[in-house]
Amino acid sequence: LVGFEVISKVPSTLHTPLMSAANSIHGIVFVGAMLTAAQAHDTVGYVLAFVAATFAAMNVVGGYRVTGRMLKMFRRAPAPVRRDPEDASSGGTTTP
């Protein structure tokens, strides 16, 4: 509930930097999972580290994909190509 309240108060222009910060947090979680795997000495520790690393990696990849989509929305459409009707190489017709 606290996360929803915080996100709902953020202006729409700041959502992309907020998502980038969330991606970095998930990256830290991934590093923590790898450190846990290095310290594990039994099967339970290895399984928990694997699950944590898997979920953290999915969050990082998904976060970057969502951020990429949001940034793509701000790109301008390419300008239409203007063709000269007198130029045959640009699709115009020639008159003999």
3-state secondary structure the chain: CHHHHHHHCCCHHHHHHHHHHHHHHHHHHHHHHHHHHHHCCCHHHHHHHHHHHHHHHHHHHHHHHHHHHHHHHCCCCCCCCCCCCCCHHHCCCCCC
Task: Identify which has the larger pLDDT, 95 or 24.
Answer: 24
pLDDT at 29: 82
- The domain spans of the chain are 12-73
**Apex 56 CA angle, 54 and 59, nearest 5:** 110
In the structure, what pLDDT confidence band is assigned to residue 31 with cuts at 50, 70 and 90? confident
For 37-93, the pLDDT digits (tens) are 899 899 998 999 899 889 888 888 887 787 788 778 778 878 787 776 665 565 555
Residue 55: both structure tokens together = 């979920």
Residue 8: half-sphere exposure toward Cβ, Cα within 13 Å: 5
pTM for the complete prediction? Answer: 0.55
The pLDDT score that the predictor gives to residue 16 is 65
